[in-house]
């Protein structure tokens, strides 16, 4: 108050800039006075509060916007927190809301607690949503979040609600997940949604459960349909999918835009190092014709309002945290200064305040529990007759699968991969909870002609997924994963051709982002060289375990048909 009244000096004064007011849409010449972590004053005549101790940034000719908020992402996987933040911070992002399902799949509640420790005391704000952990895997389900655990999490300020509970499971009446939703609603926090493909009464049933958002719409009509039901929509533009272009049809509809945000839902190392983080999304929206102020709102105040943290963040106004990006002009989203909690944390792409490197505890570094080395025999599919009818996972796109049935001859009492027909083996091996459970089936359409790839970065369960045209290569890939403590490994002809280590929980790397980007690139290129068709082969494997994507999936307990919501047999006749 005294700084605002001109009776005490500001710690930091940003003078002569054009300030974007996300509340009114105005852009006006003003100075911003900051005391400690917060903004004290925005307006003209700021000289009264500039003292000898005041740090001054002259923003003449430049524009001030609030720091960006990514309202839906997954930073509990791939990157160590300090490595990710280096890139996130320099582009103007000052708040992240992340899901925690990936780290909790192999580590349960303890994984979430450890993850919270890793994001604490960082230069920018990181909030989480508690993991509902909707999973196909009966093993993972046993370790999924309980209501008492959720209650403890929701008591924390940095936990904004419950993460994305996939609609199918909710509408099918999964009691545990419904109880988590009810508890979250009772505590006045948000239930994040995932309603991909839901329509009509099923969509409304899902919304009526208490879900308040969705980040899955892929068309303008799906956005309208959901906003009509009161949902808040986060338009995804990231590694998994990119929807901004299709949604840009709505760019002039203010009623819609009030309920709209942009979010990454996770960014790959390549985009992060070359394109950027939230600044890339806002720039893309502007390039697609969105009015720049509206584009900025979609990455700031709208997200803050959705999570009911807008009293603290999301705009440049007195009392708010001083989270500000200074950009050359409203059409050029390139942060020259990034201010977070009142401190300049990055300048012209250089990070000035280093994120804290987190030391992950031993319990998180030892999560590949396989009691012995694997051999080719572990991937045998024994059959009793000479000819059998088999249910295959058929890869339709790089994410979507369906079921297919074929007649297959048995060779020496077992089913073999047949790369000439693009049919190879797929195995799910439980590795987190020491059950020793595993299952091997067949998959068609991946394109892999030889070799094998295995990964522990799978979605929504604590398994290893291995696919291969050759069982010995599958075994080698799994054994290498055990040595690495988790990761992604590609083998062929008895050699390891490419790998990425993910030793934290089997899902997080400890390497620099640049090294990681190079390794993932090599992995993808090498897999493509062996015939892999997916533009992101690792992601294709990671999603085979997920109930989020239709429709024939796999886990350590077998094949799961999402349409029928049940496990189905590999051999059907
Ligand atoms: Fe997501």
> Residue 240 Cα, ligand 1 centroid: separation in angstroms?
9
Q: Is 90 exceeded by the pLDDT of residue 241?
A: no
pLDDT in tens, 482-496: 999 999 999 999 999
CA of 373 to the centre of ligand 1 (A): 34
pLDDT at 45: 87
- Biggest CA pair distance of the chain: 91
The predicted pLDDT at position 134 comes to 95
Given the structure tokens 């977070």, which residue do they identify? 340
Cα 236 to ligand 1 centroid, rounded to whole Å: 9
Q: Which residues pair with 425 in a beta bridge?
A: 442, 468
| Span from the CA of 555 to the centroid of ligand 1 (angstroms) | 20
Going from the Cα of 74 to the center of ligand 1, the distance in angstroms, rounded, reads: 7
Residue 307 has a pLDDT of 98
Interval between CA 374 and ligand 1 midpoint (Å): 33
pLDDT for the residue 220:
97
Task: Please list the residues that pair with 386 across neighbouring strands.
Answer: none
| Distance from the alpha carbon of residue 210 to the mean position of ligand 1, in angstroms | 18
State in Å: Cα 390 to ligand 1 middle. Answer: 33
CA of 352 from ligand 1 middle (Å) equals 30
From ligand 1's centre to the CA of 164, what distance in Å?
A: 7
In the chain, pLDDT over 70 holds for what percent of residues?
100
Report whether 558 contacts 568 (CB < 8 A).
Answer: yes
The rounded Cα 416 to chain-centroid distance in angstroms is: 36
The CA 166 to ligand 1 mean position distance, Å, reads 10
Distance 265 CA to ligand 1 centre (A): 5
Look at the block and give the residue holding tokens 């897999």.
527
Task: Say how many Å lie between the CA of residue 101 and the centre of ligand 1.
Answer: 9
Distance 12 CA to ligand 1 centre (A): 37
The secondary structure element, H or E, covering residue 71 is: strand 68-73
**pTM beyond cutoff 0.75:** yes
100 Cα–ligand 1 center, Å: 10
Average pLDDT over residues 253-281: 95
How far does residue 294's CA lie from ligand 1's centre (Å)? 23
Mean pLDDT of the chain: 97
For the cut 90, the answer to whether the pLDDT of residue 239 exceeds it is no
* Mean predicted confidence (pLDDT) in 549-553: 95
- Tell how far the Cα of 264 is from the centroid of ligand 1, in angstroms: 9
Q: Does the pLDDT of residue 167 top 90, yes or no?
A: yes
For 466-474, what is the mean pLDDT? 98
CA of 346 to the centre of ligand 1 (A): 28
Specify the residue for token string 């094998």: 452
Confidence of residue 164 (pLDDT cuts 50, 70, 90): very high
Ligand 1: centre distance to CA 105 (Å):
14
Starting at the edge strand found earlier in the chain, the sheet holding 463-468 runs: 401-409, 387-395, 438-444, 423-430, 463-468, 452-455, 487-492, 495-501
* Confidence at residue 21, expressed as pLDDT on a 0 to 100 scale: 98
Q: At what angle do helices 513-529 and 81-90 cross, to 10 degrees?
A: 100
Residue 270 clears pLDDT 90, i.e. is over it: no
User: In 328-435, where do the E strands start and end?
Assistant: 337-340, 343-347, 350-351, 381-382, 387-395, 401-409, 414-415, 423-430
H/E element, 22: none
Instruction: Give the Å distance between the CA of 11 and the centre of ligand 1.
Output: 39
The model's pLDDT over 351-382, given as tens digits with 9 standing for 90+, comes to: 999 999 999 999 999 999 999 999 999 999 99
Q: What is the 232 CA–ligand 1 centroid distance (Å)?
A: 14
pLDDT in tens, 522-545: 999 999 999 999 999 999 999 999
The Cα–Cα gap between 108 and 101 comes to 9
Residue 555 has pLDDT above 90, yes or no: yes
Q: Looking at residues 411-426, what average pLDDT do you find?
A: 96
Distance 262 CA to ligand 1 centre (A): 13
Task: Give residue 240's pLDDT band: very low, low, confident or very high (50, 70, 90).
Answer: confident
Q: How confident is the model over 381-398, as pLDDT tens digits?
A: 999 999 999 999 999 999
Q: How remote is the CA of residue 426 from the centroid of ligand 1, in Å?
A: 25
Q: How far is the CA of 406 from the centre of ligand 1 (A)?
A: 34
Distance (Å) from CA 235 to ligand 1 centroid: 11
Residue 90 Cα to ligand 1 midpoint, Å, equals: 23
Q: How far is the CA of 414 from the centre of ligand 1 (A)?
A: 39
Please write the tens of the pLDDT for every residue from 116-159. 999 999 999 999 999 999 999 999 999 999 999 999 999 999 99
As given in the structure block, the two tokens for residue 181 are 């939703």
d(CA 464, CA 457): 8
Rounded to the nearest angstrom, the distance between the alpha carbon of 319 and the centre of ligand 1 is 31
């Amino acid at each position: 108050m005294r700084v605002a009244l001109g009776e005490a000096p500001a710690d930091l004064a940003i003078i002569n800039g054009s300030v974007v007011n996300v509340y009114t849409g105005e852009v006006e010449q003003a100075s911003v006075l900051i005391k400690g972590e917060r903004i004290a004053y925005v307006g003209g005549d700021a000289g009264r509060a500039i003292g000898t101790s005041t740090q001054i940034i002259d923003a003449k000719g430049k524009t001030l916007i609030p720091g960006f908020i990514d309202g839906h992402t997954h930073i509990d996987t791939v990157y160590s927190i300090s490595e990710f933040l280096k890139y996130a911070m320099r582009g103007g992002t000052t708040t992240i809301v992340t899901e925690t399902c990936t780290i909790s799949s192999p580590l349960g509640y303890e994984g979430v607690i450890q993850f919270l420790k890793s994001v604490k005391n960082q230069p920018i704000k990181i909030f989480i949503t508690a993991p509902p952990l909707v999973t196909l895997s009966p093993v993972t389900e046993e370790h999924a979040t309980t209501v008492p655990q959720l209650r403890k999490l929701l008591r924390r300020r940095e936990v904004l609600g419950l993460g994305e509970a996939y609609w199918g499971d909710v509408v099918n009446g999964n009691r545990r997940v419904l109880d988590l939703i009810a508890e979250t609603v009772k505590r006045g926090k948000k239930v994040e949604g995932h309603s991909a493909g839901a329509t009509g009464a099923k969509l409304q049933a899902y919304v009526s459960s208490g879900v308040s958002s969705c980040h899955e719409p892929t068309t303008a009509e799906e956005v309208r349909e959901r906003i009509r039901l009161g949902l808040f929509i986060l338009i995804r533009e990231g590694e998994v999918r990119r929807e901004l272009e299709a949604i840009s049809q709505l760019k002039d509809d203010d009623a819609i835009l009030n309920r709209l945000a942009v979010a990454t839902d996770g960014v790959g190392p390549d985009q992060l190092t070359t394109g950027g983080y939230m600044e890339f999304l806002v720039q893309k929206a502007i390039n697609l014709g969105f009015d720049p102020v509206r584009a900025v709102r979609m990455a700031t105040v709208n997200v803050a309002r959705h999570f009911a943290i807008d009293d603290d963040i999301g705009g440049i106004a007195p009392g708010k945290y001083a989270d500000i990006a200074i950009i050359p002009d409203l059409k050029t989203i390139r942060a020259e200064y990034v201010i977070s909690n009142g401190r300049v944390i990055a300048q012209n792409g250089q990070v000035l305040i280093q994120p804290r490197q987190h030391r992950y505890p031993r319990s998180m570094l030892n999560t590949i529990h396989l009691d012995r080395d694997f051999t080719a025999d572990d991937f045998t599919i024994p059959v009793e007759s000479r000819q059998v009818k088999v249910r295959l996972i058929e890869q339709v796109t790089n994410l979507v699968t369906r079921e297919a049935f074929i007649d297959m001859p048995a060779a020496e009492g077992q089913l073999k991969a047949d790369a000439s027909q693009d049919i190879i083996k797929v195995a799910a091996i439980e590795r987190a909870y020491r059950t020793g459970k595993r299952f091997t089936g067949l998959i068609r359409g991946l394109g892999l002609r030889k070799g094998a790839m295995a990964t522990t970065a799978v979605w929504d369960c604590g398994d290893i997924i291995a696919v291969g045209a050759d069982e010995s290569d599958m075994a080698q890939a799994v054994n290498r994963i055990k040595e690495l403590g988790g990761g992604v490994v590609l083998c062929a002809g008895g050699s390891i051709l490419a790998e990425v280590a993910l030793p934290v929980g089997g899902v997080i790397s400890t390497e620099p982002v640049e090294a990681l980007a190079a390794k993932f690139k090599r992995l993808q290129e090498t897999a493509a060289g062996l015939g892999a068709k997916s533009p992101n082969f690792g992601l294709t494997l990671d999603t085979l375990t997920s109930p989020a994507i239709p429709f024939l999936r796999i886990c350590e307990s077998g094949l799961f048909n999402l349409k029928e919501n049940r496990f189905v047999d590999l051999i059907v006749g």
